[in-house]
Structure 1
Amino acid sequence: MKRQRAPIACEKCRLLKAKCDGRQPICTRCEGYGFKCSWSTRKRKVLLPEVETAKDGSSKEPERQALSDEPKHDDLASYQRAVRQYDTLMQELLSNLDQSQKGTLNASLHTIRRQLPVNATDSSLEQPSLTREPSTVSSDAGVDSPATYVGKASDIHFIHRIRQCYQTGAWTAREPLPADNYSQTHTIKSLAGLTQPLIIPTPAEAQGFIDVYLSTIHVAYPFLCRDILLEQFQVFQTGDYAYQEFEPWLALFNFIFAIGSYYTSFPHRSGTASLDHLRYFEQGVYFSRELGATCSLLSVWALIVQCFFLLAICHTDRCWNTLGFAIRMGQSIGLHVESSPNHARTSWMADRAHWRRTWYSMYVLDRLLALQLGRPMAIHESEFQVEMPSVSDPFPFGQDATVSAESITANRDTSTCFLMDYFLAVIRFSYLVGAVIRELYRPSQIDVAPDVMLNTSSALDQRLSEWKKGLPRHLRFDLGHTFESSVTFKRQRNMLAVKYHHLRALIHRPFLCLPLLQTNNHPFMELLRRDKHRIAQAESICVQEARQTAQLLHNLVDERSLVHDFPWWQMISCLICASSILFVAEAFCPNQDSFYSTASAQDLREDAETCLKVFEALSANSAAARKAAEMLKALSSLHHSIHKGVYQVLPGQVGIASHLLYYSTVSSRRVYLTAVVASTTSPQRHRPCS
């Protein structure tokens, strides 16, 4: 019989060199002789027998097995992802082959797949990112996303203010809560490294994407040098870019491809929306991962182009952060001063014209985002000293920088028109935007006295009108342009018209529907009593400018016309602002005696519904447009809530009655004063009927 060895002996048996049976806590020998049985705590080299583990009541073997299986599971998951990436790459290659080649390659792939282990094709693990539902595009931002600050100038803040006034009566518990933001706050997956094979556009597609960018964003923000861009694009087309120094250009081109791919996806007809723009963007982020390590003008360019793609898909907060990074990088290389550049690597970068256009592009974009979000500006006029770009700068547009008068219109006194005229006009416009933010919509939430605000708004409106009158003839959007053939000038006029009407509406929006939006603000109600006619004029201007914004869309043929012929990167914000003003005005415009005597309630509603129809048309390719449509539909319900008799006057609560009386009897000064006095002496809130 084979000797049964104990896995370990007690200390007493080891000292006596006696046979120990290994029973714990007291072995049989020590128990029989009455010895003290002690055991060493050193690590065992042999596993305990099954009988001993059963005595303990717990087995360590499953834990050891689980620990040993974890690395195997990670290796298997990595192996499966590699197989899927290989399959994805092969499928993309197959699409470019003829039928005979496809048959040969498919047979080879079938033979290879038969040699894979069964678990290599297990679908229980993560699905390939190419076939995964694009949650980064269609998920609802704001459901589980962190809230971000928006100030008084923001259209989102204005809509929330309207809801607060009717939060007890506008929506019942049975109705779903409306969307509270159209900005997309989710993150795009897999930005640390590429999880899919590189997607490279064909030469024709790449050229089309470049043309889209140059004909839309570049005519508004000409920070790039057209000739240098096309020269480097030829290097990209030849495929000679496999070196590290070209990676900033790869990042910039992929961001341009993302913009071009997204723009050309409109109008969306049928089938599944393409996600190529997100893949181009992912590749651009991958190639720009080291931009922060070496600051250069080219790195700033890549970041600005990235900002415009983020604006186009309404990742506004991420654009805000990216622009802040670009501004800091620009300041680190001296874009904010006129001293000679010290970080230029090539001769063309040393020309100050490129630096000036880049700095003022960030300046204009900073003002746009600050106004849209109601946040502080990152660039202040007192903290930089940069000359304005030259109107005849030959770098941004190349040979297209000047246009002959005969090719524009037959009635022209000037002999030459410059494409840079628009950029200079927008820079001057941005100074006005900064003044509006500082003097009317202070992000610090320090309230401006209502009478001071009224005087300031009048002064700002006068400055804005002077700016419009000072525009070159070919950029005057309020004048006719018969027989003009320049598409670029037409687009520039559309951009200026949108900016002008939007800013003018914002200048006078603080005085819109004061009895509703400022019912408990005694200084505002006192101002309403003193300066009724000035308030009426400001309110009328606000509504008319909102109507003008909506009427710019009356002759749209399809979604492509909106995306290409208007500043798509800010259109959703401008249309939300205009339509919210129109819906509120329409809800409190019961008759022709109101302040909006030039428009009926039906006219206001039709203009507001024009914006809604645009959002509905764009919702197939834009999650932000879909959420904007939901917000507008929720606002339109205010009209039905008010005009269905849902409010009644309770004893001691004459606030809402005086408000409606004020709107319906504004022609009678005696009744008007009575209503306002009642409102200011009894500022209690109204209550909806049960």
Structure 2
Amino acid sequence: MAIEDVGHLWKKGALTIPDVPFRDALLSAYVEYVHPYMPLIELREFLSIVEEGTGESGRISLLLFQAVMFTGVAFVDMSHLTAAGYATRKDARKAFYLKSRALYDFDYETDRVAIVQALLLMTYWYETPDDQKDTWHWMGVAISLAHTIGLHRNPSPTTMPPRKQKLWKRIWWSCFMRDRLVALGMRRPTRIKDEDFDVPMLEIEDFETEEFPSHILPSCRTLRNSALLTDLAHLCIAKAKLCLCISHVLSAQYSVLIRDQGQAMGQEGNTRSSVMLFPKKLDQTDEVRDCDSELAEWLVSLPEPCLYRAPTPEDVDAGRASLVVQRALLHMCYHATLSALHRPQVLPSAETAAHPQCRALQDVSRRQVREASREITRAAQALFHLQLARYLPTTGVTVLLPAIIIHLLDIKSPNGGTRDEARKGFATCMGVLELLRDNYAAADFATQFLGAAMRKAGIDAAEPQGNGTAGTDARAGLTPPPDSSTGPSGAGAPPPSNFWDGSNATPNGMGVGEVTTPPDDADAEMKLGNCEVGGEEGVFEEQFGALVDFGEGGPGAEGAEMVGGMHGESGGFMMGGMEFGGGWGGVMVE
């Protein structure tokens, strides 16, 4: 490498590493909250080399090391970032991301496996919709390179050492899982086709589940608990199997289309991609039932460590916080997938409306979508109350949005009980989304878009005064995460009156209340209509149209930029050219 390139990397900070206490804190955060759902490194070897520090026991890629540091920043205690001179977590994430990107751009690393590992971690960066190198870009490069070196092929017949075979399997399935979840969140086509790889499904034997030596990250309790490491491995395997189901849901219900080709312009005049997944307009009854059965089979076949149970403070005290977060995220992804499967059926297109099976399937889909919203909200609420919600990855934004959309629809219900529960559920989800704004730009864009849409539709999510415990003072229930500021600008401060101004996320008068299941009687059902529009159903559809269809005039000054910004891992639910929520009546966000 040329000396001037080395000098440039030095100026960028790409060749410097954190001091030992900060480094170990970032590594612990990575081990507990990143590695469980993306086990793409040989953790024991990696940590041993870092701990030894002289290079005598081996060497690791600097690019991969900086990428690990970058992902750890999202979950490390804020006190470490403040001590290192960072004013906000977003500032720290950007600084560490730029270190990794500089090393990649200058071709510092030549090991293609290490490059794939680092790129997969870099997919968790997203800043603005005009980024040329965003999540979608890094996913494409990582998967292309993975195919080049043969990661998509079964390593068993090769002479590769068993430990390396296990690592390659984990890297490939990390690629696959990330590809499917990005497709689900961004409504982009999957890059990996099911027929293009033959890597066997992950097994417990592919994971590092033995207790780690006491001198490696001594403060990390996860590494001292073999049973916990085994449970986390079970969750990762279940997630990989769920992503196979996601493949079938996306192929059954959505088609790849191009809208306004070459005409979607960003703020700086550059053309944005408009290739997205749109709900199919033809009858998909059989495909929906097949996918529904597949998801049900996935659920009933879960091993005991993966079964959802309400977490308790004792779980956190026992050092199982990472298990609580990963288990909740797994089930939130499951319910978000169910919602994506059934949303296009709730208000079918004119072609399918005349089908004799329309009414029956629509009733089933309506119940499934509402139940998915409730379960996502319950899981989010449990994490919030244990102050664990901030440990969700960007996928947390993806899975929250379907629930928020349904809560907004139920707020317009003629049934008072349904409206009250919808307001509580909406407050819960928005409280979690507020915490995630500390980390992810996608949460900012989602909040701003929802605010613009609600103003357009005239939806008031605030609790009526004097209605139980969720009145004006209930916003005090927005407990800050463990490392958030508790001052006026912190996440735990009561939101100001202009809560939808892009810097606050939780509506005035809203707190995180208990979410219970509203009655499923006829009056409580969403008034969406079955196969025709008229009467009360027509009124509801018109109200929903006001929520998401900005019309020919667009969203106006307050919303145009917000809609354009919905381009990250949550953008598929709201971005221009996509049917909002994947098919609620074919209402378009322009």
TM-score category, normalised to shorter length: 0.5 to 0.7
> RCO greater where, 1 or 2, for CA within 8 Å and sep 6 or more?
2
Give the distance between the partners of 1:525 and 1:259, measured in 2 at CA.
Answer: 47
Rg bigger for which structure? 1
AA matched with 1:433:
I
Tell whether the 8 Å contact from 2:70 to 2:96 is kept in structure 1 after alignment: yes
| Equivalent of 1:351 in 164, 167, 189 | 164
Aligned: 1:611 with 2:429: yes
Which residues of 2 match residues 246-645 of structure 1 at below 5 A? 249-264=61-76, 272-273=87-88, 275-289=91-105, 291=107, 294-310=110-126, 318-338=134-154, 351-395=164-208, 399=212, 418-444=231-257, 448=280, 450=282, 452-478=283-309, 485=318, 486-512=320-346, 514=347, 521-527=349-355, 531-556=358-383, 561-564=388-391, 566=392, 568-587=393-412, 589-591=413-415, 600-620=418-438, 622-637=440-455, 640=458
Give the distance between the partners of 2:130 and 2:395, measured in 1 at CA.
Answer: 9
Give the distance between the partners of 1:312 and 1:229, measured in 2 at CA.
Answer: 32
Mark the CA change 1:325 to 1:576 in structure 2 (over 3 Å): closer, same or farther. same
Mark the runs of 5 or more structure 2 residues left unpaired by the alignment: 213-221, 258-276, 462-521, 552-590
Give the distance between the partners of 1:678 and 1:220, measured in 2 at CA.
Answer: 42
Tell whether the 8 Å contact from 1:313 to 1:622 is kept in structure 2 after alignment: no
Give the distance between the partners of 1:340 and 1:456, measured in 2 at CA.
Answer: 34
Between Structure 1 and Structure 2, how many residues are aligned?
442
Q: Who is 2:519 aligned against?
A: none
Mark the CA change 1:559 to 1:633 in structure 2 (over 3 Å): closer, same or farther. farther
| Equivalent of 2:48 in 213, 231, 234 | 231
TM norm structure 2:
0.63
Query: How far apart are residue 558 of structure 1 and its match?
Result: 7.5
Superposed CA RMSD: 4.6
Tell whether the 8 Å contact from 2:242 to 2:298 is kept in structure 1 after alignment: yes
Give the distance between the partners of 1:488 and 1:641, measured in 2 at CA.
Answer: 37
Give the distance between the partners of 1:287 and 1:490, measured in 2 at CA.
Answer: 35
Query: How far apart are residue 316 of structure 1 and its match?
Result: 10
Give the distance between the partners of 2:175 and 2:230, measured in 1 at CA.
Answer: 25
TM norm structure 1:
0.55
- SS of structure 2 residue aligned to 1:443: strand
Mark the CA change 1:628 to 1:224 in structure 2 (over 3 Å): closer, same or farther. same
Mark the CA change 1:234 to 1:351 in structure 2 (over 3 Å): closer, same or farther. same
- SS of structure 2 residue aligned to 1:365: helix
Query: How far apart are residue 360 of structure 1 and its match?
Result: 0.9
Mark the CA change 1:341 to 1:417 in structure 2 (over 3 Å): closer, same or farther. closer
Query: How far apart are residue 633 of structure 1 and its match?
Result: 2.0
- SS of structure 1 residue aligned to 2:204: coil
The runs of 4+ residues in structure 1 deviating greater than 6 Å are 267-271, 311-317, 347-350, 400-404, 479-483, 663-668, 670-674, 676-679, 685-688
Q: Who is 2:39 aligned against?
A: 222
Tell whether the 8 Å contact from 1:341 to 1:350 is kept in structure 2 after alignment: no
Give the distance between the partners of 1:638 and 1:271, measured in 2 at CA.
Answer: 38
Which residues of 2 match residues 31-110 of structure 1 at below 5 A? none
- SS of structure 1 residue aligned to 2:254: coil
Query: How far apart are residue 271 of structure 1 and its match?
Result: 9.8
Query: How far apart are residue 611 of structure 1 and its match?
Result: 1.9
Give the distance between the partners of 2:406 and 2:198, measured in 1 at CA.
Answer: 38
Query: How far apart are residue 553 of structure 1 and its match?
Result: 2.4
Q: Who is 2:492 aligned against?
A: none
Mark the CA change 1:262 to 1:431 in structure 2 (over 3 Å): closer, same or farther. closer
Tell whether the 8 Å contact from 1:457 to 1:507 is kept in structure 2 after alignment: yes
Query: How far apart are residue 582 of structure 1 and its match?
Result: 1.9
Query: How far apart are residue 429 of structure 1 and its match?
Result: 0.8
Give the distance between the partners of 2:142 and 2:50, measured in 1 at CA.
Answer: 23
Give the distance between the partners of 2:254 and 2:460, measured in 1 at CA.
Answer: 29
AA matched with 2:243:
S
Give the distance between the partners of 1:671 and 1:255, measured in 2 at CA.
Answer: 50
Mark the CA change 1:545 to 1:287 in structure 2 (over 3 Å): closer, same or farther. same
Give the distance between the partners of 1:551 and 1:338, measured in 2 at CA.
Answer: 39
Tell whether the 8 Å contact from 2:166 to 2:207 is kept in structure 1 after alignment: no
Identical counterparts, % of pairs: 19
- SS of structure 2 residue aligned to 1:553: helix
Give the distance between the partners of 1:322 and 1:396, measured in 2 at CA.
Answer: 30
Give the distance between the partners of 2:108 and 2:190, measured in 1 at CA.
Answer: 22
